[in-house]
Amino acid sequence: MSALNTGIADNHTYFELFGLTPQFNLDLAKLESNYRSIQSASHPDRFVTASPAEKLRSMQTATLANEAYQALKNPASRAQYLLALQGVDAIAETNTAMPADFLMQQMEWREAIDDARQAKNIDALDSLLAEIQQESRALQARLVDSIDDKKNLALATDATRKLIFIDKVCADIKQLIARLEE
Amino acid sequence: MALLQISEPGQSAAPHQHKLAVGIDLGTTNSLVATVRSGMSSVLIDDDGHALLPSVVRYLADGNVDVGYEAQAAQSIDPANTIVSAKRFMGRSLAEIDVSTQPYHFVENASGTEKQSASEKPFETKKMVRIQTRAGVKSAVEISAEILKSLKTRAEKSLGGELVGAVITVPAYFDDAQRQATKDAARLAGLNVLRLLNEPTAAAVAYGLDNNVAGTYVIYDLGGGTFDVSILKLSKGVFEVLSTNGDSALGGDDFDRRIFCWLLEQSHCKPLNANDTRLLLTKAREAKEWLTDHANAQITSVLSTGEVIDLTLSAKKFNELTQTLVAKTLNPTKKALRDADLSIDDIKGVVMVGGATRMPQIRLAVADFFKQTPLTNLDPDKVVALGAAIQANTLAGNKSDADLLLLDVIPLSLGLETMGGLVEKVIPRNSTLPIARAQEFTTFKDGQTAMSIHVLQGERELVSDCRSLAKFELRGIPPLVAGSARIRVTFTVDADGLLSVSAREMTTNIEANIVVKPSYGLSEEQILTMLQSSFGAAETDKQARALAEAKVEATSLILAIEAALQQDSALLTQSEIESILAALADLKTLSNGQDSQAIHQATEALNVATEAFAAKRMDASVSRALSGKSVESLDL
């Protein structure tokens, strides 16, 4: 995860930027509230008539706050970031093995998506989306357990990779629905 | 360059003097200017009591320019020189415009080839379309500048002073080329742009502060030529855009066109000349507006050929003719909801913006879709300007407790052209601004010192399906073995939604020089030429102006730094303070002189000297905000 390494969080983590404990089970309300506080203090709109040096700092800080907020808000990227902080790259090339049952499920989902696309069945895609989002929530519960409680990196990495994968499938379904609706 | 209005360099501006700032709605059909006075936002009227300024510009034979009602009255008799709806041509090429009902003489500035891909040689910039008028070839930028000039004059007369700046609104769905064109128009008009503000967001500001109820709102903005739908979350003075979508070529004008086509069919008249086309389009618009409150519209007209048109259009027929247009607005609406992960149940209110939302069938369609009655208590023609004025007031520094924060998004994804005519997305749509992304490139030839990056905007995968924004040429890359250079290119989109690019070779830390070639815009040289021709070309004038500008820039920086030191010198060590004071003194001395080059250098030196100070101030400011204490405003 490339932090731009500029702005207030030079050598600080995204969690430190927002004053949050680094864990998967995040207080989202606090994240949002602290994000707003930082933007209130650093947003370019506050520096329209300021000196160029301050404008530059404002851009760097506000940009970083946006990047950090997005990274922590999304469960998949949050998990990936937490692992990165512990030196683990969840999507490294060497890490391509996926358990067979997960691969089977992926294939079933892909087939269902293709069928729905051919039949232009938006309702089927909507219910598939709901089903997959359910699976995502189950994975997230597992991540709270493995990253925060048991601190089991192997299990956490496994769950994270699945979550990232599922995130992508959901995004693809949404895009497909949007196209079919046109 | 910001032209700040300070009368004499050296004279310190009263820090708490009310700064004159306005909000401008540069609309397809009508434009407005508004300001905040005594805490109230209001639209400024002209000498005849009109709030709206028709966005019509007429180039006269005597070299003068009519803007507004006068120009509008002449559109049927002088259609080729009376430009209507120029906003539809901003940042656009001829190929993208429907010329069938346009009576203008379009000129394309391209060198002919329509190649999009940078890998094909040579890459030709396509250039924005222009119109041949009796006053020469004009682009939408110049035409819009005339409208902005007119509003600027109105505002300065009304407020009795020179403007510090203006917030100018743009459709949320405007891409980078269209936004840049708007900023260029403001520059030509002599306006300092405080911010380009998205129209739906401006409307939300006007409504939000009026109604003051937290929640998630949809802004449905159907103007003369553009459609935007934005979803915003309002809470405690923070307006956060969750998603935005739209169609920058769909608006009330298209409804006029449907009536126009129906008129041609029904009357079986011969093919029309330009005057008659404009005449019937005007009649069509009048009929549309009439049908808002009446069941039937009588359309009578005598063409230049002597043919008579006498038809009755019912509201029912009008709805039939325009049904698909209404449906066309619902697709972006659905997409915006999906992108924000929301359903209609999450929406607290739907706000109608833009004159075209007066049409009953639009209101019905929206009410039906969202299962709630839309909010219409603010005048749909004025609400955008009113919201822009509120933000202008805040940005100019008039509000001591800046409690209004607008977090807006980029409407379309930004991407790069890669091998095989594909686009790789770098910044996804609906990302909150400002945003930056870095991408690493390398060279493919030994000793390669230059590189070209083609940036596009859009959601599709092929270059040919996206809009070409610009070609960024990186020069001055240190010559290295092929493949060993690591060029980090950073794409930054600012709060105006405008892209800038910087590049650095990481192994040598050398910053590359970037030359921007916009695909559909005016180049910097073209703008400077236009600016100079409007000021007059005398060499001494140019030098005097350059000196005045350098002094103004220096003075505003001096004031800002002195205020900053007064507030936060405790953050600095004694030696840090001394080096800043030295640079300050240097600049003060030089800005009393006549050497604009030296003033620029000293200004730059002071900037550099205060970078670390700016960083510390920001850290302190953020810490204060996070610990819950109120953020003190920067006394500038």
Average confidence (pLDDT) per 10 residues, chain B, 636 residues: 39 63 96 94 95 97 94 91 94 83 76 39 61 92 97 96 95 93 95 96 84 86 94 88 94 95 90 88 95 95 91 96 96 92 94 94 96 92 95 86 82 91 93 94 89 91 92 88 90 93 88 82 81 67 83 90 91 93 94 91 93 93 80 40
Of B479, B500, B523, the residue that ends a domain is B523
- Nearest CB among A51, A61, A178 relative to B622 is that of A61
The CATH number given to whatever domain includes residue B222 is 3.30.420.40
Residues A98, A67 share a domain: no
Tell me, yes or no, whether B164 and B224 share the same domain: no
Q: Where are the alpha helices (DSSP H) in B214-303?
A: 252-267, 274-290
Same domain, A53 and A113: no
Q: How distant is the Cα of B503 from the closest Cα of chain A, in angstroms?
A: 14
Which residue from A41, A48, A54 is facing B622, i.e. has the nearest CB? A41
Q: H/E element holding B236?
A: none
Within a domain: B12: no
Q: Which residues of B touch A19 (CB under 8 A)?
A: 626
Taking an 8 Å cut-off on Cβ atoms, the answer to whether B495 and A19 are in contact is no
* Residues A154 and A124 reside in one and the same domain: yes
64-123 of A, contacting B, C-beta below 8 A: 66-67, 69-70
Q: What does the alpha-carbon distance between residue B482 and residue B18 come to, in Å, rounded to a whole number?
A: 58
* Cβ <8 Å between A43 and B495: yes
Say whether A45 and B395 touch across the interface (CB within 8 A): yes
Backbone angles phi, psi at B179, to 5 degrees: -65, -45
Chain A neighbors of B610, CB-CB under 8 A: 51, 53
Are residues A83 and A158 in contact, defined by beta-carbon separation less than 8 angstroms?
no
B397 versus A131: which is more confidently predicted? A131
Considering the domain architecture, whether residues A100 and A167 belong to the same structural domain is answered as yes
**B199 assigned to active site:** yes
Cβ-Cβ contacts under 8 Å, B494 against chain A: 44, 59
Residue span of the structural domain in which B581 resides: 538-626
pLDDT value at residue B109: 58
Establish if A2 belongs to a structural domain: no
Half-sphere exposure of A48 (CA within 13 A, CB side): 24
* Within-domain flag for A99: yes
Residue B227 to chain A, least CA–CA distance (Å): 16
**Domain co-membership, A112 together with A158:** yes
- Supply the pLDDT for residue B123: 40
Dist. CA B415–CA B439, nearest whole Å: 11
pTM for this prediction:
0.87
Overall number of domains in chain A:
2
> Is A85 domain-assigned?
no
- Domain identity same for B25 and B157: yes
Q: Which residues of A touch B407 (CB under 8 A)?
A: 39, 43
Assess whether B439 and B471 both reside in one domain.
yes
Same domain, A56 and A135: no
Domain count, chain B: 4
Do B508 and B552 reside in the same domain of the chain? Answer: no
Looking at the structure, tell me whether residues A33 and A102 fall in a common domain.
no
- Within-domain flag for B105: no
Same domain, B490 and B504: yes
Q: Are B395 and B165 in contact (CB under 8 A)?
A: yes
Q: Are residues B451 and B498 in the same domain?
A: yes
- Taking an 8 Å cut-off on Cβ atoms, the answer to whether B618 and A53 are in contact is no
What is the layout of strands, in order, in the sheet containing B422-427? Answer: B422-427, B414-418, B451-457, B467-475, B513-518
Q: Has residue B353 been placed in a domain?
A: yes
In a domain, A150, yes or no: yes
CB within 8 Å: A4 and B438:
yes
Q: Is B629 a catalytic residue?
A: no
Q: Do residues B216 and B333 share a domain? A: yes
Interface of B with A in 404-433 (CB under 8 A): 405-407, 431-433
Q: Which of A82, A83, A63 is nearest to A9 (CA)?
A: A63
Query: A73, A102, A119 — which closes off a domain?
Result: A73
Cα end-to-end span (Å), chain A: 35
- Domain assignment present for residue B181? The answer is yes
What's the pLDDT at B314? 96
Could you tell me if residue B463 is inside a domain? yes
Handedness of CA B391, B396, B398, B402 (dihedral sign): positive
Query: Residue B613 falls within a domain, yes or no?
Result: yes
Q: Do B467 and B333 share a structural domain? A: no
Q: Give a yes or no: residue B532 inside a domain.
A: no
Whether the pLDDT of residue A98 is over 90: the answer is no
Across the interface, which of A41, A56, A70 has its CB nearest the CB of B625? A41
Contacts of A1 (CB under 8 A, 6+ apart): A71, A77, A80, A81, A84
Q: Is B354:B203 a contact under the CB 8 Å cutoff?
A: no
> What integer pLDDT is reported at residue B629 of this predicted model?
52
B90 touches chain A (CB under 8 A): no
Same domain, A57 and A107: no
A125 Cβ under 8 Å from any chain B Cβ: no
Mutate to test the interface with A, among B4, B390, B621, B629 (most CBs of A within 10 A): B621
Which residues does chain A have within 8 Å of residue B614's beta carbon, measured at their own beta carbons?
Answer: 51, 53-54, 56-57
Q: Does position A21 have pLDDT exceeding 80, yes or no? A: yes
Which domain covers residue A32, as residue numbers? 7-73
Q: Are residues B236 and B178 in the same domain?
A: no
Cβ count near B613 (within 10 Å): 24
Q: What does the alpha-carbon distance between residue B406 and residue A7 come to, in Å, rounded to a whole number?
A: 21
Is B485 found in the same domain as B468?
A: yes
**Domain at A115, CATH number:** 1.20.1280.20
Q: Please indicate, yes or no, whether residues B420 and B500 belong to a single structural domain of this protein.
A: yes
Same domain, B476 and B550: no
In a domain, B259, yes or no: no
Is residue A3 pLDDT above 60, yes or no? Answer: no
Instruction: For residues A19 and A57, state if they share a domain.
Output: yes
Band of pLDDT at residue A128, cut at 50, 70 and 90: very high
pLDDT of A120 above 70: yes
Integer CA distances (angstroms), B74 to B53, B290, B356, in order? 15, 22, 23
In chain A, which residues have their Cβ closer than 8 Å to the Cβ of B608?
Answer: 53
Q: Are residues A163 and A124 in the same domain?
A: yes
- The Cα B541–Cα B559 span in angstroms is 27
Does this complex have an ipTM over 0.90? Answer: no
Whether A114 and A45 share a structural domain: no
Q: Is residue A89 included in any domain, yes or no?
A: no
d(CA B22, CA B385): 9
CATH classification at residue B508: 2.60.34.10
Query: Are A31 and A73 spatial neighbours (Cβ–Cβ below 8 Å)?
Result: yes
Number of Cβ pairs closer than 8 Å across A and B?
A: 127
Distance from CA of A161 to the nearest CA of B (A): 22
The CATH number given to whatever domain includes residue A22 is 1.10.287.110
The answer to whether A47 contacts B634, with C-beta atoms less than 8 Å apart, is: yes
Q: Is B221 a catalytic residue?
A: yes
Are A51 and A102 members of one domain? no
Structure tokens at B33: 């200017």
